[in-house]
Structure 1
Amino acid sequence: MKSKIYKFPKNNIKVMSKKITLVLAFIGMITLQSCTVNEDNGNGIDNDTIAEVFEYGNVNFLPNSYSVVLTFPHSIPSSDMVLVYRLSGTFQGEDVWKPLPETYYFADGTLDLRYDYDFTRFDTQINMEGFDLASVSAGYRLNQIFRVVVIPGFFGKNSQVDFNDYNAVIRAYQIDESKIVKVQ
């Protein structure tokens, strides 16, 4: 008995090939479209981006350089924006956070001291600057507390957030203060 081989007409193969290509193109378009969703809800802030805060306590500025390096718990993307705040006291039971750079002057108007900072993907360096730092009160040099706020992406510069107001930053970027990373 001779077996019979069935041959598809060439037109059917071309039609099936076009249908498979069309289905794959449709799946690709759906996949790429899902990557472009922007969830800023019209407020200029990307709500699906996670900002974070690192707190450093017991920071001391010593006479060797009046500078400290605060190492991040993990590296951050190079596009991230870093803000640094110093705990300057309390008012009506609430912490008062001052943004860096922060400057204090003598009564005659000359510079007493200044806190300033720079940062990399791995750390931030805080510098205490002034003319006679050895005579500055220990209340400004020892046991300082700093919070480093990391805002992902460069979008922060275009937002309407007042970066001088720590509480406004925390609200705007929906940072849960119970999740602040305390670094020693």
Structure 2
Amino acid sequence: MKKFLPMLLLAFVSLFIFSCKDDNEDFDTYSKVADVTGSFNNGNGYAFTQGINIQGTDVVLVYRWLGDSWQQIPKMMYLSSNREFQYNFVFDSKNVQVRIDDENFDLATLNASEATQYLSNQRFRIVLVPASAAKGTSAVDTSDYNAVIKYYNLNDSNVKNVKVN
């Protein structure tokens, strides 16, 4: 009995030591990639929404396709005659809204060439990732789309594209 009590105490203490692991890793988030294409116009308020399903601890990154690379938004666009607007986005656990903020001028005044370049059939890539990097690693540069894809080991070779309008 004298040897049994210390062994029982040791087993009891070790239960708490191993069950209280504090590694701050996010094991409930699975990184995902999705594309959404839409046109901005006065009728949709220069915004469109894509449904998502994320936890409160997840992060949404959004990139705009430039024809040969991805550019992270928000991004300010500077046009002639001191006109500017910004591609932007907001999100919650159910939706991502991609929009244009245009406090400086009316987007309806864009000429046909500008409207085609900046408003029509704009493609955005939505990337859902855990809010914190894995313990023991440095944070990834989220402005670099390729670094994000590599860091989270995402396959972006066959991403589903949703047309929203």
* Structure 2: tracts of 5 or more residues without a match: none
Amino acid at match of 2:109: S
Among candidates 45, 48, 72, match of residue 99 of structure 1: 72
Alignment correspondent of 1:163: 142
- Report the TM-score when normalising by structure 1: 0.67
Secondary structure in structure 2 of the residue aligned to 1:54: strand
Does 1:114 find its partner at 2:83? no
- Aligned-residue identity in percent: 31
User: Considering only CA atoms, is the larger Rg found in Structure 1 or Structure 2?
Assistant: 1
Distance in 2, Cα, partners of 1:76 & 1:55: 16
Q: Whose relative contact order is higher, 1 or 2, with alpha carbons under 8 Å and at least 6 apart?
A: 2
Among candidates 132, 151, 155, match of residue 176 of structure 1: 155
What do the CA deviations read for 1:107-132 (whole angstroms, capped 9, x no partner)? 23332x32111111111111113312
Amino acid at match of 1:135: T
How many aligned positions are there? 154
CA contact (8 A) 1:55 1:182 kept: yes
Amino acid at match of 2:153: Q
CA contact (8 A) 1:101 1:117 kept: yes
Does 1:127 find its partner at 2:99? yes
Secondary structure in structure 1 of the residue aligned to 2:49: strand
In 2 relative to 1, CA 179–77 (structure 1 residues): closer, same or farther, beyond 3 Å? farther
- Report the TM-score when normalising by structure 2: 0.73
Does 1:151 find its partner at 2:129? yes
Runs of 4 or more above 3 Å deviation: 14-26, 35-39, 46-50, 178-184
In 2 relative to 1, CA 178–36 (structure 1 residues): closer, same or farther, beyond 3 Å? farther
Amino acid at match of 2:36: Y
What do the CA deviations read for 1:111-164 (whole angstroms, capped 9, x no partner)? 2x32111111111111113312123313321221111111202449x9443322
Secondary structure in structure 2 of the residue aligned to 1:170: helix
Does 1:23 find its partner at 2:2? no
What do the CA deviations read for 1:10-45 (whole angstroms, capped 9, x no partner)? xx4x7656544543543x247426x44688xxxxxx
* Structure 1: tracts of 5 or more residues without a match: 1-11, 40-45, 91-95
Secondary structure in structure 2 of the residue aligned to 1:178: coil
Distance in 2, Cα, partners of 1:79 & 1:37: 15
Alignment correspondent of 2:47: 67
